[in-house]
Structure 1
Amino acid sequence: MTMHPDVAVLARYADGDPGLDEASVWSVESHLETCADCRARLAGQIPDDTRALLDVVGAAVGRGIEAGPAPARRRMAIRRRRLAVTPAPWLTMTAGVLGCAVLLHAIAPDLPSLVLLLAPVAPLPGVAASWNRRTDPAWELVAGTPSAGLGMLLRRTTAVLAVVIPLLALAGARTGAPLAMLLTPCLAFTAASIALGSLIGVRRAAAGLGTVWSVAVVAPSLATAQLPVVLTPGGAAAWAAAAVGMAGFAAARADLFRRLNSAD
């Protein structure tokens, strides 16, 4: 059964209430596209001058569509098929980087383990793409669904981790890196990117964390040929505590993930 917007929400949408969150606006608009009854209800609440303006705009758009070229359906179908079989860029990049880290460990075993150094930031490209309107062509439609927000971000992040964690485990098995020190920093940085994403956007948070880690930890470790203290086996408990703390912070700010800037 089709769920119609609440009368109060529809009235607030018609009045342009700035207090109505963006996800609710998208939900109303996507519903109006397919529900003639709700469009009629909305039309009854629009002032006459606004209705006249909409009629003028609608007529102009109709003339533009009629005068424009016919849609190239075959090209779009081919493009959709290509997208369907093309692996996600972040997956290809992550697998390639970890593969290079394993190869470098075999060539220069005296260097600090690049697999350990890269484990915290390995999931960040996928996390950045999981809730980003710049990489999701259907983001507006997704954001308008009732399940949008932190819940959907967590489901997509889980899918990212389901790919990254086996890659890390395989790379760790090839290089002898402790599994606990691969997974706990990975989970901590994932939780941190989501937590900070409520403040500055998930993409910016993931990019910022990756940059800081690369500059402050990875580069000095390679320069000194020593593994940092934060990646020694005794640090697993601290990483796990950080992951739990960041997850709690993100849960406390769950409502902010229904704002459009969380996908920047």
Structure 2
Amino acid sequence: MSGEHASTRIIEGYASGGADLAADEVWAVEAHLVECRVCRDRLSAAVVTEAPAVASLVGTVWSGLEPRLADTATMPRRRRPAWLSRWMTPTMVPWLAMVFGMTLLALLLDLAGTGSGAGPGFGLGSGEVSWVLLLAPVLPVLGVAVSWSRGLDPAYELTASAPRAGLQLVLRRTASVLGVVVPALFVGGWATGIMVAQWLLPCLAFTAATLALGGVVGVTRAAAALAAAWAVVVVAPTLATRHTSAALGTDALPAWALVLALGTAVVIARKGAYSVLKAHR
């Protein structure tokens, strides 16, 4: 890529099949072509000269499709902001509403005892467990899992094969989840008297760990595994002993900060892993 447009070498190499281009160059030119009409026109001209067989095939297919498309009734376009499609899928909306509802429920359970967030919560009775604090790390993970769920996204195949389906789209969808969950948790933490770092660091650390592990086994699988591990290692013992786990105490904050830093470093180091299909499992 050079300046605002792709170089002639890249355009011609892509038109001839991309065998002589590096993988990052192919990804970059595909992402650029989505936004740049000038380079798309240059690519069309290059295909005629560099790959005449392809140009002939496209012309034959188009000549057969064009009459049919003219006679086919088009579906009415839904009025949905274009920027919203770049940040989340339609299936994310009800799930984000569910996550928001879970946050509200946790807050109500915390306030049910004394009205100050120090109450017993649901069936605990000791006054030492906060449901907001207990659920904060896994709430964004649920949204992230849904945003990459193969079974819930009807456009999964298109999304997974799009040139912008790499780390940029992963971060956009994660940010959209955090944009809903974090403000809700902030209100819950303020109402229950929990210090911000005590829920925010585990929340962000779990999200970063999900993305880091997702580059290896898939984002949805990573989210499910970490949420299950949290339920077994922290939630179950907390409910059984009626005492807040040490993982949620202030002494554990440096460890959560380390997990956040390591997870972020792994995501950056393995950013190319999110451009392949296994990251969408």
TM over 0.5: yes
**Please, which of 195, 214, 220 is the counterpart of residue 203 of structure 1?**
220
Deviation at 1:243, TM superposition (A): 0.9
For residues 146 and 9 of structure 2, the distance between their equivalents in structure 1, rounded to whole angstroms, comes to 34
Find the counterpart in structure 2 of residue 56 from structure 1: 60
Contact kept in structure 1, 2:47 and 2:55, CA below 8 Å: no
Find the counterpart in structure 2 of residue 44 from structure 1: 49
Deviation at 1:140, TM superposition (A): 5.0
Contact kept in structure 2, 1:32 and 1:38, CA below 8 Å: no
Where in structure 2 are there 5+ consecutive unaligned residues?
85-89, 114-118
Deviation at 1:177, TM superposition (A): 3.0
Where in structure 1 are there 5+ consecutive unaligned residues?
none
5 Å matches for 1:146-225?
A: 149-151=166-168, 153-154=170-171, 157-225=174-242
Contact kept in structure 1, 2:160 and 2:280, CA below 8 Å: no
For residues 64 and 187 of structure 1, the distance between their equivalents in structure 2, rounded to whole angstroms, comes to 51
**Please, which of 19, 23, 26 is the counterpart of residue 20 of structure 1?**
23
Contact kept in structure 2, 1:4 and 1:31, CA below 8 Å: no
Higher relative contact order (Cα pairs below 8 Å, separated by 6+ residues): 1
For residues 167 and 10 of structure 1, the distance between their equivalents in structure 2, rounded to whole angstroms, comes to 47
Find the counterpart in structure 2 of residue 72 from structure 1: 75
Deviation at 1:113, TM superposition (A): 1.8
| Residue 125 of structure 1 pairs with residue 142 of structure 2 | yes
For residues 71 and 162 of structure 1, the distance between their equivalents in structure 2, rounded to whole angstroms, comes to 35
| Count of aligned pairs | 254
* Structure-2 change in CA distance of 1:16 and 1:94 (3 Å): same
Deviation at 1:60, TM superposition (A): 2.0
Deviation at 1:182, TM superposition (A): 0.7
Corresponding letter in the other structure for 1:56 = T
For residues 56 and 162 of structure 2, the distance between their equivalents in structure 1, rounded to whole angstroms, comes to 30
For normalisation by structure 1, the TM-score amounts to 0.76
Contact kept in structure 1, 2:16 and 2:47, CA below 8 Å: no
Considering fraction of residues, name the structure with more helix: 1
| Residue 114 of structure 1 pairs with residue 131 of structure 2 | yes
For residues 153 and 214 of structure 1, the distance between their equivalents in structure 2, rounded to whole angstroms, comes to 25
Corresponding letter in the other structure for 2:103 = L
For normalisation by structure 2, the TM-score amounts to 0.72
Identify which range, 9-18 or 202-211, moves more after superposition.
9-18
Deviation at 1:211, TM superposition (A): 2.8
For residues 161 and 185 of structure 2, the distance between their equivalents in structure 1, rounded to whole angstroms, comes to 30
Deviation at 1:16, TM superposition (A): 3.1
Contact kept in structure 1, 2:27 and 2:163, CA below 8 Å: yes
